[in-house]
Structure 1
Amino acid sequence: MKAKSIRNWYLVHKWSSLICTAFMLLLCITGLPLIFHHEIEHLTGDHPEPVEVAEDAPRITLDGILETAMKRVPGDVPIFMIFDDEEPIVYMRTAASPTEAEDIRSNAYDARTGDHLPAPPFDEGFMWVMFKLHVDLYAGLPGTLFLGIMGLLLVASIVSGVVVYAPFMRKLDFGTVRADRSARVKWLDLHNMVGIVTLAWLFVVGLTGVINTLATPIIKLWQFNEMSALIEPYKGAPPPENLTSIDDALRIAREAAPGTEPSFIAFPGTDFSSPFHYAFFMQGNTPLSSRLVEPVLIDAGTGELTVKAELPWYVTTLLISQPLHFGDYGGLPLKIIWGILDIAGIVILGSGLYLWIGRRRSTLESRLRELEQGADAAVTA
């Protein structure tokens, strides 16, 4: 590779790394507990715990859960009904109105009995702080989009790092750490070795993180394009005054999407539905199909099927990216692997920061020459 080309790639690697390192280090640190959020919440008692119920005990309906939930929050309207993937728990999200959904209240109910399950507020505590720092730095959508830019810089840093260091590292045995050299050289070797080992993971997590930061624009685009077309026949019609049974609507949704169960239900007037519909987001029972939801719109006034919609490719990409980012596909074993790789990412970012802070004053050409000579010396030693 020509010296000028190496110089350009080195500059890309240097400045993309410098700009994003501190923020990526923060994301790796906050992301580590988020990988195990379900397990941590169980250990700390922050997760609702359903009690054992006899097999022949009577079961409550979704309409019954909704009625119980709304009595608990008088003056609110239902926003979402969310179904736990692993336990018989239904979360009811309510707010003063569908358009004031930023001030949401969440309560958990036993899906079998309808009993309220005590749990700390979902927007408080250690895990909430980690979540907010990881998602938007407590700055809302601007913070989320800023982190997306940092993620793009991380991807650029990874690609340029491979281009710059691959020719030099061919002269060293894989995993070589020159322990007889200075502390800076040892840290450089460690930085490069761990970086290569975790290269694919860092690239995937960085890229899926960037996609996740676009969640709000992606959903808005889906609403503007697909959802607007679906509700065109309702244009000018008043919203229904009396809503049909959720259980009856769910039966229709299951018939429209056989072999699926609801992941969540969006009530009329929310961002995920329309003023006229229940939106049932149905999921399969495999690790992949459980993430690729199928929206089924049911007329909330008549209970009739409006349409089973196909998600556009950009929404499907988002839905695949979200669990992949946190290793939430293969249960605890995959989470442990993700956690180990996350720690490796912290080592890479921390060592890169150390190498920058402890850098010597030298020209770019001398640093590149030193790197190549160091590799040559290791081969002849």
Structure 2
Amino acid sequence: MQRATLKIWFLVHKWTSLVCTVFLLLLCLTGLPLIFWEEIGHLTGASPEVAPAPAGMPRANADELIERALAQYPGDVPLFFGWDDHSPSVYVNTGARPDTPPAEMHTVVMHEYTGEILPASQFNEGVMYFLYRLHTDVFVGLGGTLFLGAMALLFAAAIVSGVVLYAPFMRKLSFGTVRMGRNRRLAWLDLHNLLGIVTVAWALVVGLTGAINTLAAPMQQAWQSQQLAAFIEHYKDAPRPTELASLDAAIATARAAEPGMTPAYVSFPGTGYSGDHHYGVFMHGDTAITERLYRPVLIDAQTGALTAQPQLPSYMTALLLSQPLHFGDYGGLPLKFLWAILDLLTILVLISGLYLWWRRGSTEARITEIERGGLAPATAETP
């Protein structure tokens, strides 16, 4: 590779890394406990274990569960009704108005069969929610989310440029070489290169899926305005219904329409997920992949009639698949531990990168070091 080309790649790696490293450290540090959000909830009692359903008992009526949830927060309206795939429990999100943002919602968790209200912390409170907001939008909303997405893309550029530089740098060195006996900068450089190449595939996948996840709100808005609009066109001049059809019957209609799937959650009219006149019953499969691929079934919220079963566009499918891949929560606890280990190694890569920038020499000296396969003479740096 010519020296001029090496210099371009070196500068790309240097500046993309410098711009994003502090934010990536924030994302890695906050993302680590979020990998184990469910397990931490069980340990702290925020998400207690739910007793199995009594043998032969039918599910509680969904309309009665909604009424029970609304009694906990008088004046609220129902927003979402959903199922926990790993326990016989359901949740109901309520709010002061149909477009209540998640940070202002109330949550009631109940036993799916007995209807008992279960002890559970609110999603929008506590340490884990604080870490979640830091990780997703640094408490400034969509602007913060999109900014973090841009940092994730810079991180991907830093990874790609680092891989390009790795090959010529390691030309005369054995894989895994960490030169501890010469000076501190060389040892940190070798460690940075080793950990970087070991984690490169994981870091690139997590970085790109993180960037995709930051586009969730714009993607959902595009889907609603483009695809859903075609199904709800003839409702556009009608006021939002105040008397709703049976939710329990709407769920049964959706189950019959998609017999090979089970309901994941239901959005109420006005929440933005199914327009102003429909229940959106979002169905999914029962495997590690298909449980993330939702199929919406639109039920007229006033008559209870089936309106449509729209297909999700490819960009929404990419979003849904990227979410579990980002946090490693589709393969059970062993995969989560692997994600945590790789996260810690990436933190070391970022810290070592900052140290190397602090102990930087001239750009020309660094290019010479790469050209010589990492065997350039040591400079007059402190050992």
> How does the TM-score come out when normalised to structure 2?
0.95
Instruction: Look up the match of 1:251.
Output: 252
C-alpha RMSD of the superposition: 1.5
Segment of structure 1 superposing worse, 252-261 or 190-199: 252-261
Per the TM alignment, residue 58 of structure 1 is displaced from its structure 2 partner at its CA by 5.4
- Could you tell me whether the CA contact under 8 Å between 1:168 and 1:375 is conserved in 2? yes
Q: State the Cα deviation string for residues 278-333 of structure 1 (Å, max 9, x = none).
A: 00110000111100000100011111110001001111111011110000111111
* Residue 66 (structure 2) pairs with residue 66 (structure 1): yes
Instruction: Look up the match of 1:111.
Output: 112
For 1:84 and 1:274, the matched residues in 2 are separated by 24
For 1:308 and 1:339, the matched residues in 2 are separated by 38
For 1:222 and 1:36, the matched residues in 2 are separated by 31
- Could you tell me whether the CA contact under 8 Å between 2:80 and 2:93 is conserved in 1? yes
Per the TM alignment, residue 356 of structure 1 is displaced from its structure 2 partner at its CA by 1.2
3-state DSSP class of the match of 2:374?
Answer: helix
For 1:371 and 1:239, the matched residues in 2 are separated by 66
Instruction: Look up the match of 1:92.
Output: 92
For 2:134 and 2:359, the matched residues in 1 are separated by 28
For 1:56 and 1:66, the matched residues in 2 are separated by 23
- Could you tell me whether the CA contact under 8 Å between 2:278 and 2:298 is conserved in 1? yes
Instruction: Look up the match of 2:156.
Output: 155
Instruction: Look up the match of 1:367.
Output: 366
For 1:156 and 1:17, the matched residues in 2 are separated by 8
Identity rate, percent: 54
The letter of the residue matching 2:301 is A
- Could you tell me whether the CA contact under 8 Å between 1:79 and 1:101 is conserved in 2? no
Per the TM alignment, residue 235 of structure 1 is displaced from its structure 2 partner at its CA by 2.4
For 2:58 and 2:316, the matched residues in 1 are separated by 39
For 1:261 and 1:271, the matched residues in 2 are separated by 22
3-state DSSP class of the match of 1:297?
Answer: strand
* Residue 41 (structure 2) pairs with residue 41 (structure 1): yes
Q: State the Cα deviation string for residues 330-354 of structure 1 (Å, max 9, x = none).
A: 1111111111111111111111111
Per the TM alignment, residue 39 of structure 1 is displaced from its structure 2 partner at its CA by 0.5
3-state DSSP class of the match of 1:100?
Answer: coil
- Could you tell me whether the CA contact under 8 Å between 1:168 and 1:372 is conserved in 2? yes
3-state DSSP class of the match of 1:8?
Answer: helix
> Structure 1 residues 59, 291: CA separation in 2 closer, same or farther (over 3 Å shift)?
closer
Q: Which runs of 4+ in 1 moved over 3 A?
A: 56-59, 371-374
Q: State the Cα deviation string for residues 117-163 of structure 1 (Å, max 9, x = none).
A: 11222211111111011001111111111101100100000011111
For 1:238 and 1:377, the matched residues in 2 are separated by 74
- Could you tell me whether the CA contact under 8 Å between 1:48 and 1:108 is conserved in 2? no
- Could you tell me whether the CA contact under 8 Å between 1:298 and 1:306 is conserved in 2? yes
Gaps of at least 5 residues in structure 2 are 378-383
Instruction: Look up the match of 1:314.
Output: 315
Instruction: Look up the match of 2:355.
Output: 354
For 1:205 and 1:264, the matched residues in 2 are separated by 26
The letter of the residue matching 2:244 is L
For 2:252 and 2:172, the matched residues in 1 are separated by 65
Q: State the Cα deviation string for residues 11-66 of structure 1 (Å, max 9, x = none).
A: 00000000000110110011000001111111111114323442134541111211
The letter of the residue matching 2:117 is H
* Residue 226 (structure 2) pairs with residue 225 (structure 1): yes
- Could you tell me whether the CA contact under 8 Å between 2:52 and 2:88 is conserved in 1? no
Gaps of at least 5 residues in structure 1 are none
Aligned ranges 1:289-328 → 2 under 5 Å: 289-328=290-329
- Could you tell me whether the CA contact under 8 Å between 2:213 and 2:323 is conserved in 1? yes
Per the TM alignment, residue 95 of structure 1 is displaced from its structure 2 partner at its CA by 0.7
> Structure 1 residues 53, 313: CA separation in 2 closer, same or farther (over 3 Å shift)?
closer
- Could you tell me whether the CA contact under 8 Å between 1:49 and 1:117 is conserved in 2? no
For 1:371 and 1:101, the matched residues in 2 are separated by 51
The letter of the residue matching 1:70 is L
3-state DSSP class of the match of 2:307?
Answer: strand
Per the TM alignment, residue 165 of structure 1 is displaced from its structure 2 partner at its CA by 2.2
Aligned ranges 1:18-33 → 2 under 5 Å: 18-33=18-33
For 2:131 and 2:340, the matched residues in 1 are separated by 15
The letter of the residue matching 1:233 is H
For 1:69 and 1:17, the matched residues in 2 are separated by 48
For 1:238 and 1:173, the matched residues in 2 are separated by 71
Instruction: Look up the match of 2:380.
Output: none
- Could you tell me whether the CA contact under 8 Å between 1:108 and 1:117 is conserved in 2? yes
Segment of structure 1 superposing worse, 129-138 or 54-63: 54-63
> Structure 1 residues 127, 281: CA separation in 2 closer, same or farther (over 3 Å shift)?
same
Instruction: Look up the match of 1:194.
Output: 195
- Could you tell me whether the CA contact under 8 Å between 2:145 and 2:214 is conserved in 1? yes
The letter of the residue matching 1:67 is E
Instruction: Look up the match of 1:240.
Output: 241
> Structure 1 residues 105, 145: CA separation in 2 closer, same or farther (over 3 Å shift)?
same
The letter of the residue matching 1:228 is A
